[in-house]
Amino acid sequence: MRVYFDNAATTAIDDDVLQEMLVVMRENYGNPSSIHADGRKVRTIIETARKKVASLLKVSPAEIFFTSGGTEADNTAITRGIKDNGITHVISSPLEHHAVLHTLEELAKEGSIKLDLLNVDTLGHVDLLQLEELLKKNPRTFVSLMHANNEIGTLADIEKISNLCISYDALFHTDTVQTMGHFVHDLSNLNVSFLAGAAHKFHGPKGVGFLYVNHRVKIKPFIHGGAQERNMRGGTENVYGIVGLAKALEIAYEHMDEHRTYIQGLKDYMREQLIQQIPGISFNGEQDLEKSLYTVLNVSFPPTDMADMLLFNLDIAGISASGGSACSSGSNIGSHVLTAIGVKPENPSVRFSFSKYNTKKEVDFVISKLKEVCLEKV
């Protein structure tokens, strides 16, 4: 038996998504930039997908730009958003995905910006009082805070953050890679400047994502070349990926409530079984259902001589998961997120992340293997 509990890293592609992509692959191979009939047909396919994504997010199609994934979307928003709007002060957090954190650190190293990282508590919540104080002192700031942390699942109150940014005339970029397709994002009621998503996190294909750019914010291209994406992103479009992204997001929105109920049930069941059957465990991140991502469960296990081998042993046992430990003092190896929230470096931590394709039988299998690995190695 092989169990895949690493859906926060990537998800299996939905069969309906694959079938829609295959039709385009087989029958619509024209270059969308060509002016002949084959090219125009493919251009129409892309624009239909753009309208579908825009409709689900309740924005204008002109505000949606397709990218190679979440990393490019984040890099574009940060690099161009800061430079093209004359911004020199940025607020973020030490918990951000490296697509955000490393980009900001590089800009700070170059001297382009002053970077302030917010304090975080042991559950992974950023200090919103500190955010407001920094906004008061620094007019025209760029704020970059993710919706849900990819390692521990803690949700940020992006509505409150958005309102603060509006009050102090700040640009707000949020990485919604982990929540897109799992939560409703109504951008007609959420005032953000930039928002990033990636298809492979909600059962779409890898290598494609999108960036929402609020029409009130003006930026220049991050990737130069042709006039694709309305002169905003050079390079021939990933047509099949774009079609797959739009279809996957459509399916996710159609079945969101039932999938959420089902996946939350799996997470709750695994949490209960871990508590009952493995002594000395603890959970990382927010555990309140209203403040956490229902697809992610991050668990710390008691220290053992085999701690460094936990993920390897799970893999050998047929279980795909991810994680690690907090960084040791003076070491760059480990999770920057777990370190920031104060998890002890000697405790091996595993992120189990779930999808609509997982089952309780798989949870039982994982629990049985964890007992073997954790209890017999103490």
Residues with catalytic function: 327
Q: What CA–CA distance (Å, rounded) separates 283 from 218?
A: 42
DSSP per-residue codes, 264-319: HHHHHHHHHHHHHHSTT-EEES---GGGB-TTEEEEE----TTGGGHHHHHHHTTE
Q: What CA–CA distance (Å, rounded) separates 89 from 80?
A: 14
Q: What CA–CA distance (Å, rounded) separates 186 from 338?
A: 31
Q: What CA–CA distance (Å, rounded) separates 6 from 12?
A: 10
- Range 266-271 contact pairs with CB under 8 angstroms and sequence separation of 24 or more: 266/354, 266/358, 266/359, 266/360, 266/363, 267/294, 267/295, 267/296, 267/297, 267/354, 269/360, 269/363, 270/297, 270/352, 270/363, 270/366, 270/367, 271/297
Q: How many CA atoms lie within 13 A of 120 on its CB side?
A: 28
Cβ–Cβ under 8 Å, residues 212 and 194? yes
For residue 128 the two structure tokens come to: 């919103």
Cβ–Cβ under 8 Å, residues 242 and 48? no
Q: What CA–CA distance (Å, rounded) separates 308 from 306?
A: 6
At position 344, the amino acid (one-letter code) is: K
Q: What CA–CA distance (Å, rounded) separates 95 from 331?
A: 17
* Beta-carbon contacts of residue 251 (< 8 Å; ≥ 6 apart): 14, 16, 17, 203
- For 107, counting Cβ atoms within 10 Å of its Cβ (0-12 exposed, 13-18 middle, 19+ buried), the class is buried
For residue 231 the two structure tokens come to: 């002169």
